Structure 1
């Protein structure tokens, strides 16, 4: 049997077909080739069209099916990974009412803060494990307050992956993991949060049917199957936010295991068996893919909005004529510390680990006689690595002390320069794996379809490509401390 994984990213859709027997990817495709745009009607806003996602999902599946290396009729199950925290709202005919307010949109910060104060900080953190912050529930409240005519049309509110599953199957479902990332879930009561629903005035009927992450969420509709060249009735057996899914794809399922990713945004994600939370909500805790009432498994998530997006901006603005590999090579020619050039990479909206402050991206200490293009390339990647170190120290404050971090060899971890800076700035070894979100979603579908008895079985053929250990941590430490001083100076001025 073959497994189809769909990864609904901010930049593009990626799909992979995996052989369930060997756990190996037999074909992958991405659509579109260029990065999808983000709609920003005002500063701090970020939206995308769910219908665009659906068009791109269909195009990506047709593209992968054109590969001569497999028979699409052999695909027996579908898994979906998706960008977290987005809000999708549909009417009774399953039509999209408005564009999705996506993960990096900052408009609902004040609404979430109001909910935190009304519910009470101690109660919110104990029950929700988070402040309502800028998550999906607060975004839905923004629609209710500012677009009441649209709010009245809402039949179901959901996460992006729930929407793609709906388009494939016609069924609308969600999971505890998805609801927790939207901050709708009460972990103490193990049910929808009466506090959140009551404060915002949400009807429970807006919430889709709740099913386990690994379960059947519907079957592929006949007309969709015909359009995509797939078999009617294929079940969707797995749905997960991109970061829990990234952890799954690295077989990070047990307490103490930690995963990282550095795409548009950057994440460190560690698994715990305790209902832990950060008193300042700088890191967040959500139900992991294997969360159960009788066996708590939560993911402690550090998110940095401004990581790979800064590297891409640097290429577009400064290195447009060269490749990312050339940028990495040129940056590697410069000594650690970039001859005093420092970069704060926070130019992609409010940063939770900075208490939801917006400080922007900054290039500091530019010397017009000394600093060259390679200095900029190195300083950008060092600055991103230092942001990870800053966040990891917050996680350490909350009891997460990784001895090794697993990451897929993808996005910024394709850069030896960044990987070196990350490992030495954090002083934690990194294992790199041949893994990505769409392959993880496919293997998740295999678990949901009971093709595999467990995560260990699903990833029994997955082995690290490389272990990178700290070699120059002592040289990075004073550079990081100088960078941290610059960041704290910015924060005190806001």
Structure 2
């Protein structure tokens, strides 16, 4: 049987069809070809249209079917991975009430900070393992406070993947993992947090039906099946945020295992069996895909908003629309250290690992008479790698000490320059895999359907390459220079600059 996986990204939608017996991807497609717009009505805001996502999902499926590499009627289950922390609101007729306030939107930071103090910092961290920050619950509170007419019409709140599941099936469901990423979940008691609901004055009826990640989340509607060339009634059997899904696809499921990716944002994601939290909430802990109330599996997540988005910005504004491969080739011609250029990649909203500060992206030591495009290209990749090192040190403070990091050979990790800078500045070997979020979602669908298990789904997966740190390189020196510049930008508060 075949499995359909959907990866709802910020830039585009990608879908893949996988054979459940071999776990081989038969075909993939994405839509649109150009990166989707992020709507920024004010500085620090970030929105996207859920209906745009849905149109792109349908077109991506049709594009994949058009390859004629499989029979769409052989697809028996659907899995969905999605950009985390977004807020989607619908009325009783399942009509979208406003654009989604997405993951990198910073407008609700102060609302979250006030709730953190009002509930009590220690209580928040002990129960939710996070501060409310600018996560989904705080975004909903912003709507309630600033758009009361919209708020009054809300029937259900959803994460982005819940919305896509609703469009497929007409059913609205969610999971503990999804609720935890929105800071709606009390891990101590394994219930929806009364502290959050009471603090913001939310009604319990706004929360969808809660089901396991690997469970049926509705069945494909007949009219939609006909439009997409699929069989009516096939179930959605998996929904997970993109970072837990990426970890699943890298077989990062057991305590101590760690994965990373560097797309629009950058993430290091480790698994723990402890109710772990950072006292400053610079890293976040959510329910992993295999979390149950009997077997705690937590995803400890370090997120950097401004990573690959900087590379994209440089390509479109400085790179004369060169391809990423061309930029990587030119960056590789420059020695490590980028001839002194140091770049801070933090230009995509408030950064949690910087205590929710918004410091922007910065270029340092740029000499207009000396430096060339190629040196900027390399400095961008090194700056992104250094931001990962800064975040990894925070994870180390909290007991996460990886001996190896798994990553997909995609996005920034498709660049040898970036991978070299990452490995040598972090001092940890990296295993590179043939990895794809939409393929991971299809495998998740197979686990939810019961044709695969967590134990056997990735038994055939082997790394493409292992990159070991070079003890003789100079990256530690370059990183410490970069870090001193960063500390000057954020503050001299020791709680930030540690």
TM-score band (shorter)?
over 0.9
- Is the aligned partner of 1:273 residue 2:273? yes
TM-score by length of 2: 0.98
Aligned to 1:168: 168
For 2:104 and 2:19, the matched residues in 1 are separated by: 34
Once the 2 structures are TM-superposed, how far is the Cα of residue 369 of structure 1 from its aligned partner?
Answer: 2.6
Aligned equivalent of 1:154: 154
Superposed, which structure 2 residues align to 1:249-260 within 5 Å? 249-260=249-260
Residue 477 of structure 2: aligned partner:
478
Report the TM-score, using the length of structure 1 for normalisation: 0.99
Alpha-carbon deviation of 1:322?
2.4
2:48 matched to which residue of 1? 48
Give the match for residue 4 of structure 2: 4
Measured in 1, the distance between the counterparts of 2:274 and 2:446 equals 27
Classify 1:473/1:436 alpha carbon distance in 2 versus 1 (closer, same or farther; 3 Å).
farther
Where does residue 388 of structure 2 map in the other structure? 388
Superposed, 1:53-64 pairs within 5 Å as 53-64=53-64
The separation in 1 between residues aligned to 2:329 and 2:7, in whole angstroms, is 30
Partner of 2:496: none
Using the alignment, how far apart are the partners of 2:373 and 2:62 within structure 1?
41
Matches within 5 A, 1:57-206: 57-206=57-206
Three-state SS of the structure 2 residue aligned to 1:37 is coil
Counterpart in the other structure of 1:16:
16
Q: d(CA) in 2 for partners of 1:488 and 1:144?
A: 36
Partner of 2:303, secondary structure, is strand
Q: In the TM superposition, what whole-angstrom CA distance separates every residue of 1:434-462 from its partner, at most 9, and x where no partner exists?
A: 1110000000000000111x223111221
In structure 2, what is the equivalent of residue 440 of structure 1? 440
Number of aligned residue pairs: 493
CA shift, 1:370, in A, is: 2.3
Distance 1:428 1:288 in 2: 23
In 1: Cα distance, 2:49 partner to 2:243 partner: 21
> Structure 2 CA distance, aligned partners of 1:11 and 1:219?
27
1:458 paired residue number:
457
Q: Give 1:474 deviation, angstroms.
A: 4.2
1:309-334 Cα deviation digits (max 9, x unpaired): 00011111111242211211211121
Q: Which whole-Å deviations, capped at 9, do the CAs of 1:363-395 have from their partners, x for residues lacking one?
A: 001122321111101111000000000000000
C-alpha separation in 2, matches of 1:259 and 1:372? 34
Structure 1 residues 208-228: Cα deviation after superposition (integer angstroms, max 9, x where no partner) = 000000000111010111111
* 2-structure distance, mates of 1:386, 1:292: 35
In 2, Cα distance between equivalents of 1:89 and 1:476: 46
Residues of 2 paired with 1:440 and 1:370: CA distance? 45
- Over 3 Å counting, the alpha-carbon distance change for 1:473 and 1:403 in structure 2 is farther
Q: Partner residue of 1:228? A: 228
Tell me the alpha carbon deviations over residues 412-446 of structure 1, each in whole angstroms, 9 at most, x when there is no partner.
11101101000001011111111110000000000
8 Å CA contact 1:81–1:441 kept in 2: the answer is yes
CA distance in structure 2 between the aligned counterparts of 1:30 and 1:323, rounded to whole angstroms: 18
Equivalents in 2 of 1:185, 1:325: separation in Å? 42
Report runs of 4+ in structure 1 exceeding 4 Å deviation.
none
Could you tell me how far apart the structure 2 residues matched to 1:493 and 1:105 are? 26
Residues 473, 74 of structure 1: alpha-carbon distance in 2 compared, 3 angstrom cutoff: farther
Matched, 1:356 2:320: no
Does the 8 Å contact 1:302/1:395 carry over to 2? yes
The answer for unaligned runs of 5 or more in structure 1 is none
> What is the root-mean-square deviation of aligned Cα atoms in Å?
1.0
Counterpart CA distance in 1 for 2:247 and 2:399 is 19
* CA distance in structure 2 between the partners assigned to 1:400 and 1:276 by the alignment: 10
Q: How does 1:267-306 map to 2 (within 5 A)?
A: 267-306=267-306
- Once residues 91 and 17 of structure 1 are traced to their aligned partners in structure 2, the CA distance between those partners, rounded to angstroms, is 33
- Give deviations 1:190-247, integer Å, cap 9, x for gaps: 0000000000000000000000000001110101111111000100000000000000
Structure-to-structure mapping, 1:338-377, within 5 angstroms = 338-377=338-377
Relative to 1, partners in 2 of residues 1:405 and 1:142: Cα closer, same or farther, differing over 3 Å?
same
Alignment deviations for residues 231-277 of structure 1 (CA, whole Å, 9 cap, x no partner):
00100000000000000000100000001000000000000000000
Distance in 2 separating the partners of 1:387 and 1:483: 9
Query: Aligned partners of 1:194, 1:88: CA distance in 2, in Å?
Result: 21
Q: Establish whether residue 311 from structure 1 lines up as the match of residue 311 from structure 2.
A: yes
1:168 Cα deviation from its structure 2 partner: 0.2
Secondary structure at the aligned position of 2:270 is classed as strand
The superposition leaves residues 2-41 of structure 1 with CA deviations (integer Å, 9 ceiling, x where unpaired) of: 0000000000000000000000000000000000001111
Alpha-carbon separation, structure 2, partners of 1:85 and 1:473: 41
Aligned equivalents of 2:54, 2:373: Cα separation in 1: 39
Q: How does 1:405-444 map onto structure 2 within 5 Å?
A: 405-444=405-444
Q: Which residue of 2 aligns with 1:331?
A: 331
Contact 1:427 1:473 in 2 (8 A): no
